[in-house]
């Protein structure tokens, strides 16, 4: 069950690439819905985390190794730091990209907090004995 949770959360983070890709596109095309410039760094971080998520899921399932465990831990920590930065930016430069459907400043913060809790849970689970054994037993 723990491994399934790690796989789910890692895959879930791929949605960060979708949203941040759209918001970065709006910034670079100077769209009226674009975010303040303070959001560029969190969006780039989200895009990186999001595009690498599915590759990690594949390797967790098919090619687990101790190196992958370290990469997954680093990836989660970087993702967590990016989310904490984004939460701080959400207070300094509020952004509500699509208020017509309820995607406003509060919704953005809620999603950031949810993803933060998900990444913290993965970091915690990566240190569980059975999860560490799963990554150790497999050959590189």
Residue 138's pLDDT band (cuts 50, 70, 90): low
Do 87 and 113 contact (CB within 8 A), yes or no?
yes
CB 11 within 8 A of CB 122: no
Pinpoint the alpha helices (H) of 1-137. 2-12, 15-28, 40-62, 66-92, 105-126, 129-137
The set of residues, in sequence order, having a beta carbon less than 8 Å from that of 140 and lying 6+ positions away, is 65, 66, 67
Taking the domains of the chain in order of start, what are their residue ranges? 2-137
Residue-wise pLDDT tens digits, 34-57: 888 899 999 999 999 999 999 999
pLDDT of 56 reads 97
65-110: pLDDT as tens digits: 999 999 999 999 999 999 999 999 999 988 888 877 878 889 989 9
Instruction: Write down the mean pLDDT value for the chain.
Output: 92
Whether the pLDDT of residue 139 is over 70: the answer is: no
Checking if the pLDDT of 140 tops 70, the result is: no
């Amino acid at each position: 069950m723990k491994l399934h949770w790690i796989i789910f959360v890692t895959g879930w983070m791929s949605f960060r690439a979708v949203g941040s890709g759209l918001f970065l596109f709006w910034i670079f095309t100077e769209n009226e819905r674009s975010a303040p410039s303070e959001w560029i760094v969190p969006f780039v971080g989200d895009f990186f985390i999001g595009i690498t998520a599915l590759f990690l899921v594949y390797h967790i399932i098919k090619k687990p190794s101790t190196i992958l465990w370290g990469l997954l831990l680093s990836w989660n920590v970087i993702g967590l730091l990016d989310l904490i930065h984004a939460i701080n930016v959400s207070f300094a430069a509020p952004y509500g990209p699509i208020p017509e459907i309820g995607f406003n400043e509060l919704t953005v913060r809620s999603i950031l907090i949810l993803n933060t809790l998900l990444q913290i849970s993965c970091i915690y689970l990566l240190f569980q004995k059975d999860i560490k054994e799963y990554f150790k037993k497999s050959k590189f």
